[in-house]
Amino acid sequence: MSTGTTASLSRMNVVSRGAGASSRTVLITGVSKGLGRSLALELAKRGHTVIGCSRAQDKLVSLQSELSLSDRHLLLNVDVRSDNSVEELARAVVERKAVPDIIVNNAGTINKNNKIWEVPVEEFDAVIDTNLKGTVNMLRHFIPLMLANKQGIIVNISSGWGRSGAALVAPYCASKWAIEGLSRSVAKELPEGMAVVALNPGVIYTDMSASCFGNSAALYQKPEAWALKAATVILNLTAADNGASLTI
């Protein structure tokens, strides 16, 4: 996986349309495929404003064509592993007066099935840099914006393997256990009116589950079916859910 950083805001390929007054603004990382893409499409269908980011520019263009025709959505080419890239994302959001009401830290990757001592260093680093450091980069730059608004919900995508262990995916498990601990700790730092939760989406048929389970991954529900339930759960989160570890 490339470790390149989007160099400057001017080089970000931005798809921007003005926001509707009645919609909530939801920022989703890793929006180019899988859960992120399906959730973005479902939220847009329900009339909410989507800010999506991904490293895959071609897939962002494809997503743009699938989003609702209302002129409210914003898609940015961002690498969450890079603090500078996330900082540029935050700057773009502020410039467009589109500070999110909800953030879904969804961007993630998994190692190829392997014993920990056989996982290449670069592969281990990619998992930690994306799943954990990428989430922290988002928190670093977006919590202050939400604090200024005195409200905001943050959903950190976790996993069943963030609450249990499994052979051959130790790097992924470690990253998601870290997400659980990070979320509970940050929950104690947030003021009233805000919330951060760790959300286990369950097993969904995605590229990541196929990496783990092979052909049997197709037996699980598809992201589109998951998004129908997930959108409702996420939109109904409140400050009372702060610190919770939830499962869909």
* Catalytic machinery residues: 172
**Phi, psi at residue 185, to the nearest 5°?**
-70, -45
Given 3-state DSSP classes, what are the helix, strand and coil percentages for the chain, each rounded to the nearest 5?
50, 15, 35
How many residues are given for the chain? 248
The type of residue at 133 is K
Residue at token pair 């009401």: 101
DSSP state letter for 129: I
> What per-residue string of b and e applies to 103-131 under the rule 16 or more CB within 10 Å gives b?
bbbbbbbbbeebeeeebeeebbbbbbbbb
Classify burial at 7, counting beta carbons within 10 Å of its beta carbon; exposed 0-12, middle 13-18, buried 19 or more.
exposed
